Each structure stands twice: as C-alpha cells, then as structure tokens.
Copies of this chain bind each other. A is one copy, B any other.
C-alpha cells in the first residue's frame, strides 16, 4: 500500500505518545534511552513509535552505531502548517475581513479594469 506523504504525516501525529516524543525532541535531540525514560514505556514500544515518526519523515536518527540521537525534521511539519493555513479564515475573523477586503478590491479592479 502506498500512502501519500501528508497522509503518513497525519497518521503519525494521530497518537499522543508520538506527539509527546516530538515535544520532547523540540527542546533537544535525544537517544532512545533518554526518550523511553519519561514515558515509562518499554524500549520496544518506544522504538515502534520512533519508527512510525521516522517513516513519516518527522524525525531523523544519527548514524553513530551506539548512540543514534533522534531529532525533529522540519519538512513534514511545515507541510501540515501549509495545509491547515488554507482553512485559517474559518476561525480567524481578522483574516476573514482581509479576505473580504481583497475580494472587494478585485471587484473594483475589474470594474475600472484595463483592457
């Protein structure tokens, strides 16, 4: 089954533990052991979550054999931000007013338009 990138990102984010891992990694990169500690989870359980995050491109892991620190990758998070931005006018009144204003402006431009 092939999944598009954005769907994989949203699926990876649909779990509170995985979001908590990202929140932890937002302050600094961390090893799997360091990540497992605060979550009181087994290493295999954490590893599974990390694999989902890694496959979605939300984190990357260092290449050192022993200590492979995890760090956040910006790309997919930016894609989420860009996606949701299209819906801003549904909750942002000031944005809505700007939108109205731009529409008004376009209408006027058409009216007095250069042909």
Contacts and interface: CB of A to CB of B under 8 A. Distances in A.
Interface stretch (A10-18, A29-37, A39-47): A10-18
A19 B7 CA distance: 9
Interface residues of A, number: 31
Contacts of A73: 90
Interface stretch (A62-70, A81-89, A104-112): A81-89
A38 interface: no
Contacts of A83: 19
Contacts of A86: 23, 26
Given A72-B87, A81-B85, A81-B88, 14 more contacts: A4-B16, A7-B15, A7-B16, A10-B10, A10-B14, A14-B14, A19-B83, A22-B87, A26-B90, A74-B87, A77-B91, A78-B91, A81-B84, A81-B91
